[in-house]
Structure 1
Amino acid sequence: MPNILIVEDDQEIAQLIRETLEREQFTCVVANDGETGLRIFQEQAPDLIVLDLMLPKLDGLEVCTRIRQQPGSKDPYILMLTAKGEEIDRIIGLSTGADDYLVKPFSPRELVARVRALLRRQLRQGQPVGQIYRTSHFQVDLDQHQASRYQAIARRSWN
C-alpha cells in the first residue's frame, strides 16, 4: 500500500487527514513542521506528500522546492493542502513543484479522490507503488534493495 507523508501543523486537521486516508488503507506518517517533514521524506521516501504551505520552521514552498531539488531520491507526488486559495497562490504552488493543489476547508472525499488520482498516474507510468514491508523493528524496501532498523511511528505525530 502507498506510503503518505502528511506535513500539517494544525493537529486536528492532521488527524482528520490521517484518519481519512488510513480508512482507505493508506499508510500515513504525520510531521507538524517543515523541517521534520523534510527529514521524514529523506528517511522514508513516501509515495505522496500532503503538504500545508504555512508551516513552522520551514514553509511548505521551501519544503517542496528542496524535495524537487534532491538528486537521485524518490520523486513523490505532492498535494498542497492549504488555506491560501488565491489564484496567485495556486500558481506559485504548482510552479514550485506541486502536482495538485487543494484549498481548505476541503472535503475529505475529494482529498481521497485526488490522492487516488495522483497514485493512479504512478501506476500508469509503470512505476510500482513503493514496496516497503515493515515489522515493529525492521523495514525492507524491495525497490531500493535495502533493509534497515525501523521504529513503528505511523500512529503518532512528529513534533
Structure 2
Amino acid sequence: MASHKILVIDDSRVIRNMVRDMLPKGNFEVLEAKDGVEGLNTIHQERPNLIMLDFLLPRMSGWEVFQQIQAQPDLRAPLVLMSGRKEEVTEKIPEPFEYFEFIEKPFEQRELVDAIKSAMAKFKKWPQPAVAAASTAAAVTNDAAGSAEIEALRQKVDKMQTEIDLLKKQLAQILTFVKQKLK
C-alpha cells in the first residue's frame, strides 16, 4: 500500500501521467483531477499529503483552488504550483513563494523531485492555527459548555485572521500590479 497520497490537478492527461511516471514506484498513490472543482473535491475527500496544482484550469482556476486552500487551514498540504508561464502566477502571487514551491512546465524528473522536497520544507513554515492547543487548555480550565463557546470563538477569530491575511496579500498584489503599470 502506498504511504503517501499525491494529488495532481491538471487538465492535461499528459502532465498527470508524466508526474505519475516520474515518481518512485510503490511509495505514492497518485490521485488525479482534471479541473479545479474536481481537485478541490478530491482535497476534501482524500486529504492528500502533497498537492500538485496547475495554475490555469477549467471550471475553477488553480488560483481559486489556491485561495480556498489558504482560507481553510484543514485543507492545507505541501503544494507545488505548476504553470507553463511563471508570469501568470507572479501576477497574482508575488515572489518569493514562502509556503509553496513553483515549477515551470515542462519539467524533468530531477526538477520534480527537488520541487517536492522544497514544498515539504516550505510547508513546515506555513503558520498553522493554534486553535487545537488553545482548545485543550480551555477544556482543562473551563466546564464543557464554556470551552465549546471559547472554541467556537477561537475558530471564528482564526478564520477572520486567515481572511485578513489573504486580503493583505491581495492588496500587496494590487499595489505591485499598479506600480508595474505606472512604470
Q: Same fold (TM over 0.5)?
A: yes
SS in 2 for 1:28: strand
Residue type of the alignment partner of 2:36: G
Q: Which residue of 2 aligns with 1:85?
A: 86
Structure 1 unaligned blocks of 5 or more: 126-159
2:25 maps to 1:36: no
Richer in strand (by share): 1
1:87-115 CA-partner distances (Å, limit 9, x unpaired): x6336346798611111121221111221
Q: Which residue of 1 aligns with 2:111?
A: 110
Greater radius of gyration (CA):
2
Q: Which residue of 2 aligns with 1:52?
A: 54
Q: Tell me which of the two structures has the higher relative contact order, counting C-alpha pairs closer than 8 angstroms and 6 or more residues apart.
A: 1
User: 1:108-147 to 2 correspondence within 5 Å?
Assistant: 108-120=109-121
With normalisation by structure 1, the TM-score equals: 0.66
How far apart are 1:123 and its partner, in Å?
A: 7.6
Identity %: 27
How far apart are 1:62 and its partner, in Å?
A: 0.2
Richer in helix (by share): 2
Length, aligned pairs only: 124
Equivalent pair of 2:101/2:122 in contact (CA under 8 Å): no
1:53-73 CA-partner distances (Å, limit 9, x unpaired): 1111100000010111115x1
**d(CA) in 2 for partners of 1:97 and 1:63?**
17
Residue type of the alignment partner of 1:92: K
Residue type of the alignment partner of 1:61: W
